[in-house]
Amino acid sequence: MKLKFALAVLLIAPLALTACAKPDAPASHEASSSEAATEVTTISAEQQAAIDALDQPVQDEKNTDVPASVAQAPADAITTE
């Protein structure tokens, strides 16, 4: 009986200590990630235009099962619901 009790204590104690620990380290990490997010939002209009000019999808020439006019057309109203 004492062996089972000791085994239970050895299994439960680390879980209890981990659950009750203060999350100091992740809080400081979240602050640094929010600072990085604010830096990303400071993109000028000229930079965004350059990004948009480069960020165009490449149409596969060998893929002829769907024409480009149909593939790049907006979705029907039924499919967006």
- pLDDT tens-digit profile, the chain (81 residues): 899 999 999 999 888 888 777 766 555 555 555 555 555 578 899 999 998 888 877 767 776 777 777 777 777 765 655
- Domain assignment of residue 78, yes or no: no
Residue for token pair 């235009």: 49
- Domain assignment of residue 23, yes or no: yes
Q: How many domains does the chain have?
A: 1
Per-residue pLDDT, 46:
93
Q: Which helix (H) or strand (E) holds 65?
A: none
- Domain assignment of residue 79, yes or no: no
* Domain that includes residue 30, residue range: 1-72
Comparing CA positions, the residue from 81, 53, 58, 54 lying closest to residue 71 is 58
Please state the pTM of the whole predicted model: 0.26
